[in-house]
Amino acid sequence: MSGPYPPGPWSPENSNTGDNAWQLTAASLVALQSVPGLCVMYAGLVKHKWAVNSMFMCFYAFAAVLICWVIWAFKVAFGQYMLPFAGRPGPVLTMDYELRQSQLPSAGASQNFPLATMVYFQYVFAAITLVLVAGGYLGRMSFRAWAIFVPLWLTFSYCIGAYSIWGGGFLYNLGVIDFCGGYVIHLSSGTAAFTGAYWIGPRLQRDREDFKPNNIIAVMIGTGILWIGWNGFNGGGPYSAGADASAAILNTNITTATSLLVWTMMDVIFYKKPSIVGATNGVITGLVAVTPGAGVITGWGAIIFGLFSGTVPWLTMNIVAKRTKLFKVYVDDTLGITHTHMVSGALGGFLTGLFADAEGCEAFGITNHGGAKDGNGRQVWVQIVSALFIIAWNVVWTSLIMLFIKYVCRVPLRMTEEELLVGDDAIHGEVAYSTSLDVMGQHPNTMMLQGRELNELERGHDSGSSGGVSPEVKKSPPQQETKLE
């Protein structure tokens, strides 16, 4: 909701307890998407030896982002103008800031709830973006490197996109429509996953050949939390408990259901079997694709979004990625974040330029006269230009951050060979599934795992970290569709 923002602290006449209650609820739903949603999903998707590390990467990012957010990052993303793509950094930790009315000064907008609510709501979006990036690095990134990467990428990548598109930056003024993060969150995280995976290098060859989910039930639980949590994700975008929030929630679920059904149909057509993991891919691509336009498209438009989100990312994941050397050798995106987020986010943004509805835009409080379907063809190229900026910025800055960690901080991007072989027990001293300890205090499952892997290494079974996919992988049934969120 826009209007003149007050200079002083919070006052009762600016209060709308309904909006505040909904915004806090929406923020809590988004937080649950990360913890435990994506934590549980990732732990179920990876091999059991990586379950703890995968969850811990999410947990660390969720905590580290908050501290950075309140000390400097929130103002970079939503503060006073400093550059066309960044606000002036600074803390939001005084009671004056926490109690005053929420305002986005560069965008000239205020909301009918306290600034503390806005800070928290935007924090959970920043946090889930880093959690999504982690999905491309699982199974080999050094935890120390990840610890350095999170605050740097938050500052120099996420905050730039957020300010440029939402905070009043140059893309905001250009007129881009990104209802709730198709570009700011999903396109940026997918691009960072793709770029970072190149610099980190692939997993061990044997891990790439055999990377079946260790717990599909956990995958389903995590996906369910993600789907329902998206009601807060897109429903919180209008910053009020109004009609546009309701439309966004309904359209989000229409697209997601359509995408699930279409992805399942594609699996049946090409693989002759419906895959539950494939269906969860369809859920995620639908959620991502609808996000740029959730509250500004019609219900029919939401169905069209679902048709595309169930087919285009399916094709890039199951056809393009398997047939190109780029993905087979150089870019080992562990859970396919490139396809589920980069491809789906760009797709959703482009479709928003086509199918944005003038009445929906008015309800959302923006001046765009719909998309191409309502005669506003300009919106299509605005969406394309904005997507290209987000992609280019993230390719450059993700690369610079990776190189800074490796060559300036002198912290290896990859785990050691021993850690890659053993997994969680070598990195954290914990394993995900154990019932007892032997007399030496070591987990029996871990000892068996270590012994089996080291024996196979001695027999020359393992090919080290050279990357690439063997011919057997190309012939195998769609177990690799574990590439998910």
3-state secondary structure of 341: helix
- What whole-number percentage of the chain has pLDDT above 70? 87
DSSP state of 141: B
What is the pLDDT, as a whole number, of residue 450?
52
Mean pLDDT in residue range 413-420: 93
Q: What is the pLDDT of residues 294-351, one digit of tens each?
A: 999 999 999 999 999 999 999 999 999 999 999 989 999 999 999 999 999 999 999 9
Mean pLDDT in residue range 113-142: 96
What is the pLDDT, as a whole number, of residue 309?
97
Strand 109-114 to 101-104 pairing: antiparallel
Cα–Cα separations (whole angstroms), residue 119 to 235, 280, 285: 17, 31, 27
Q: What is the pLDDT of residues 271-296, one digit of tens each?
A: 999 999 999 999 999 999 999 999 99
Whether the CB-CB separation of 143 and 200 falls below 8 Å is answered with no
Among residues 371, 383, 392, which one has the least CA distance to residue 165? 383
The CA distance from 265 to 181, in Å, is 28
For 70-126, give the DSSP string. IIIIHHHHHSSEEETTEE------SHHHHHSEEEETTTTEEEEEEHHHHHHHHHHHH
Q: What is the pLDDT of residues 156-206, one digit of tens each?
A: 999 999 999 999 999 999 999 999 999 999 999 999 999 999 999 999 988
The model's confidence at residue 468, banded by pLDDT at 50, 70 and 90, is very low
Helix H or strand E encompassing 254: helix 243-271
How many C-beta atoms lie closer than 10 Å to residue 28's C-beta?
15
Reply yes or no on whether the pLDDT at 480 is more than 50: no
What is the pLDDT, as a whole number, of residue 441?
45
The model's confidence at residue 9, banded by pLDDT at 50, 70 and 90, is low
10 Å CB burial of residue 250 (0-12, 13-18, 19+) is: middle
What is the pLDDT, as a whole number, of residue 209?
85
The CA distance from 252 to 275, in Å, is 22
Reply yes or no on whether the pLDDT at 418 is more than 50: yes
